[in-house]
Structure 1
Amino acid sequence: MAKSNLSDAVLVNNYIAGDENSLALLIDRHQSRIYGYIFSKVSDRDLTEDIFQETFFKVIHTLKSKKYYNEEGKFLSWVLRIASNLIVDKFRNDKKMPLKRDTEEFSIFSNIKDSSLDIEKKLIKNQVDIDLKMIIQKLPHDQREVIMMRYYSDMSFKEIADFTGVSVNTTLGRMRYAITNLRKVIEKNKIYLPS
């Protein structure tokens, strides 16, 4: 069996047993989701890189010391918890750091970029992104969290459930309520969202 087909649990055990390449495979497998999750919280590339590296430093330290790690098939959720804790620590230590910065690159509703957009369309699109972000920030925390993980980090509902410690049904319910609440605010404020 090719190493790339091995489960996270097997790769973790191989790494603990001394196979350094197994960790490289785990990082390659999950780096875009972890990076996207961190960026969705801090909106700064340099800070995202720092926290990403610090996250894997902690992963390596924990796995090498063979302490405090219980696999249960949830490697990605475990790593995201480490990243989340590091982000919270950073916010606590640097109260001046902004929580969000509006960037076109990581907008949850601009996954597909069209380089042929003219200036007027770009301005409209930027305003729509800003409006959506403001609306999303007004959602209850649990609904906002599931929207951010689903769209920014491209996490599956099962991964979100594992990370938040609730059932998949609860996660789906939170997403449903979030979308319903977003629609209500959009209709009430007569916000125009071009397709």
Structure 2
Amino acid sequence: MKSFSQKTDNELVDLFTNGHLDALETLVLRHKDKLYTSILFMVKDKHLAEDIFQDVFIRVIDTMRNGRYTDEGKFLPWAMRIAHNLCVDHFRKVKRTPTIRTGDDKDIFEVLNFSEESAEYVMIKRQSHDRVRNMLDHLPEDQREVIILRHYADMSFKEIAAATNCSINTALGRMRYGLINLRKMMTQRQIAL
């Protein structure tokens, strides 16, 4: 018998539904980086990303245990869709929740600094991330989503197409136009990363 690490996702799902808990651990370890990174880039908050990541696997476990998992051979795109939907749900909820603002109209939680990293490191990191986020925020949502999933979640265009319910060619086109628009913004704003 092959070890769990050599099994396909579909085989691991079958093993888990038949009572092998180690199969789930292998699935989590196999896909945690892609899932967590894409969630983190969408929500831009480490602790929130960790919470949503856990919620994704709670839904995955519930769905598989109840025998409702039907995306055979497509575990990662299925889990990415769950993650994407949970992020969207979070933003809908936040939109209805009032935020606490400082005198200069910034969210109080963006102003408070809970890290213990050096001031220089934090400033350089923040400037680079802010530039990229700012430019990504100005892209159309479909272009932004494909860029995030491709570069931060390291998903293939086939996986992106499945996660966003579009064709591979549409995903490629969105990536192309997104990168063209980012280059235009960098040129207009004279930004060098």
Q: Which TM-score band (shorter chain)?
A: 0.7 to 0.9
- Alignment match, 1:47: 48
Q: Per-residue deviation at 1:126?
A: 4.2
Change (3 A) 1:176 1:26: same
Structure whose residues are more often helix by fraction:
2
Equivalent residue, structure 1, for 2:37: 36
Q: TM-score, normalised by structure 1?
A: 0.79
Distance 2:137 2:161 in 1: 21
Query: Counterpart of 1:156?
Result: 156
Q: Determine the C-alpha separation between the residues in 2 that align with 1:125 and 1:51.
A: 24
| Aligned residue in 2 for 1:15 | 16
Deviations, residues 142-170 of structure 1 (Å, cap 9, x unaligned): 11101111122122222111211222222
SS of the aligned residue for 1:94 comes to helix
Return the alpha-carbon distance in structure 1 between the equivalents of residues 80 and 56 of structure 2. 9
Identity %: 43
Q: Which moved more, 1:163-172 or 1:87-96?
A: 87-96
Residue 173 of structure 2 is matched in structure 1 by: 173
State the alpha-carbon separation in 2 of the partners of residues 127 and 65 from structure 1.
46
Q: CA deviation at 1:125?
A: 6.2
Aligned to 1:84: 84
Query: Using the alignment, how far apart are the partners of 2:158 and 2:32 within structure 1?
Result: 18
Structure 1 runs (4+) greater than 6 angstroms displaced: none
1:108 maps to: none
Change (3 A) 1:18 1:124: closer
Residue 138 (structure 2) pairs with residue 138 (structure 1): yes
Alignment-mate amino acid for residue 179 of structure 1:
L
Aligned pair count? 177
Counterparts of 2:23 and 2:176, CA distance in 1: 38
**C-alpha distance 128-83 of structure 1, shift in aligned 2 (>3 A):** closer
**Normalised TM-score (structure 2):** 0.80
Does the 8 Å CA contact 1:128/1:193 hold for their aligned counterparts?
Answer: no
Greater alpha carbon shift after TM alignment, 135-144 vs 80-89? 80-89
Structure 2 counterpart SS, 1:139: coil
Q: Check the 8 A contact 2:81/2:163 in 1, yes or no.
A: yes
